[in-house]
Amino acid sequence: MRDSRPRLLTNKTPLSRTALTRSARPTRAAATGALAAVWLTLQAVMAAPPGLSQSSTARSQERLSYTGLIEKIEAGQVARIEVDSSRGVAQVYLKERSNVSQEVTLFADPEDNQALLEAARDNDVDLDAQPSPDSNAVFWFITNALLAFLLIAGLMMILRRSSNASGQAMNFGKSRARFMMEAKTGVTFDSVAGIEEAKEELQEVVTFLKKPERFTAVGAKIPKGVLLIGPPGTGKTLMAKAIAGEAGVPFFSISGSEFVEMFVGVGASRVRDLFKKAKENAPCIIFIDEIDAVGRQRGAGIGGGNDEREQTLNQLLTEMDGFEGNTGIIIIAATNRPDVLDSALLRPGRFDRQVEVSPPDVKGRLEVLQVHARNKKISPDVSLEAIARRTPGFSGADLANLLNEAAILTARRRKEAVTMLEIDDAVDRVVAGMEGTPLVDSKSKRLIAYHEIGHAIVGTLVKDHDPVQKVTLIPRGQAQGLTWFTPSEDQALISRSQILARIMGALGGRAAEQVIFGDAEVTTGAGNDLQQVSGMARQMVTRFGMSDLGPLSLESQQGEVFLGRDWMTRSEYSEEISARIDAQVRSIVEHCYEETCRLIRDSRVVIDRLVDLLIEKETIDGDEFRRIVAEYVDVPEKESYVPQL
């Protein structure tokens, strides 16, 4: 019997390993077949009781009485005895038939079997105690039951994955728009500042959704679509959140890129599903962010167009204004690239209104700062109006980032409230980058100081240049030194004299290097300045008509190819005109540079003092700078400092 049990375990082990190996294969049919085969094998194995075989069954038929066993022991005929106490039997092996055992039933009470034990001890008969096969059978059944459970669990996991995959395939063309029955964005019109004109346009949409009878009574129809246009960070998405929070109607929000897939027709299916859901919940609002991802011009660019994107756009055009109307559905879209949108998408009936969301002016920046300063500890000496005047061109996102950077600096410096020092450092960090290690006093530091003072002195002495805010030698980003100019007001239009003044201010650093140190010591520090100078001078000639060529616009802003523009650009003027353009650009720059060098030579004394002071303090603010310049230089009428061309 001891020989049969290992053979049973040996035959079972390869089957289980084969089944596990096959179940790891990704093919569903193969995995299912392997699991079924292992399961049938386990059922067959479990059907046979462990520890039994034909030989053991045959041996169990030869029985011997208890008294006859003692007589055979005393006669010396017994070779060994194996006792199974759990069954209450003993297997007796005689000397003449050592390969056949006889079974003897023992007494239930171990004390009654003392005669047998004494007889075996007196006649030197081997007496062994064998474990019960029932305990091994329990362990065997538990092990196989656990294995069967693992196999069934693996089969269920494979079936679940296959069902999920099939479900995803069925939902591949469904819309991925986020749906809110009552949009709780936490943003209202009170949270949006600096874009009052856009707010007024969109408040009409909210009013129509809440009180449509006010418009329908006079025969008015609400616009089907509103397109928000503006640079990044001006608050287009924030405005959509405010509309969702104010309207109180179902709100669908999706990005334009979520329509387009690699398979043709999926995007169009998602558009159909989106508008189907919107019709079921009308009146409602659909907000499509970054619509230029799906609404770009059809058939433009290199190699034609994208079939999937064009089919998606065609379906969007049909759903917005096609054979079937979409009563009660208002579409709001946002983009910062309106020039690449398809003309059919922008026509009345689809996007009836195009709302320009521009960067805020001084008043708008002040309102934005007040909104973002509500949850921050601001020191009483901080003037939000001064910050608004110092940050022309900043968008709402820039201003929010500015105050957040100031709050981070305040916490890092372990202060109780944000002060103007943190505001100034935050402005410098946002505009120019992280502050670097101050330069050591050396020839390079003195040269950089003359370069920056050259910018500042020219900007101070030229009439139409923006006033100097501060000059610093503290490196930020890629710049080793910086000169800050702050315009007195937001400039929507720039005059010819202002452009020439800016050219001269940009050339001040290079002029200071050449006048003070000579041609041999001119450095590469003016590389970025010269790029700005060349760009401004060329625009004066080719776009603004501010040269001897007359009031002609010879060049236009060319769009990039990947934005849906033409591959080949057509020259708008002859080679003769091109040569005259180059001559005019060079003439403007040379006149400005000569005048800038003259200003540097005439102001050499005050420049030397300002350089020494800048090296000592590393930062000079605008008021102190202008006060020192006024002590040394008699500034005549500033019109004379603008070169006449």
Read off the tokens for 584: 């005019």
Closest to 549 (Cα-Cα) out of 558, 561, 540, 560:
540
C-beta separation of 483 from 471 below 8 A? yes
**Alpha-carbon distance 627 to 296, whole Å?**
55
Closest to 135 (Cα-Cα) out of 43, 42, 5:
5
452 is catalytic: yes
Rg (CA), the chain: 45
Q: Are strands 619-621 and 468-472 parallel, antiparallel or unpaired?
A: antiparallel
Enumerate residues 6+ apart whose C-beta is below 8 A from 421.
none
Three-state DSSP state, 472: strand
DSSP secondary structure letters along 500-515 = HHHHHHHHHHHHHHHH
CA-based torsion, 391, 393, 399, 403: positive or negative: negative
The single-letter DSSP state of residue 295 is -
Enumerate residues 6+ apart whose C-beta is below 8 A from 551.
545
Three-state DSSP state, 128: strand
Q: What is the largest CA-CA distance in the chain?
A: 145
Annotated catalytic residue within 258, 308, 452, 595: 452
Core vs surface per residue 142-168: b (16+ CB within 10 A) or e: eebeebbeebeebbeebeeeeeeeeee
| Region of residue 516 (phi > 0: left; psi between -120 and 50: alpha; otherwise: beta) | alpha
Tell me if the bond preceding 348 is cis, omega within 30° of 0. no
Read off the tokens for 312: 């998606």
C-beta separation of 308 from 316 below 8 A? no
Enumerate residues 6+ apart whose C-beta is below 8 A from 372.
399, 400, 403, 404
Read off the tokens for 128: 């062994």
Residues acting as catalytic residues: 452
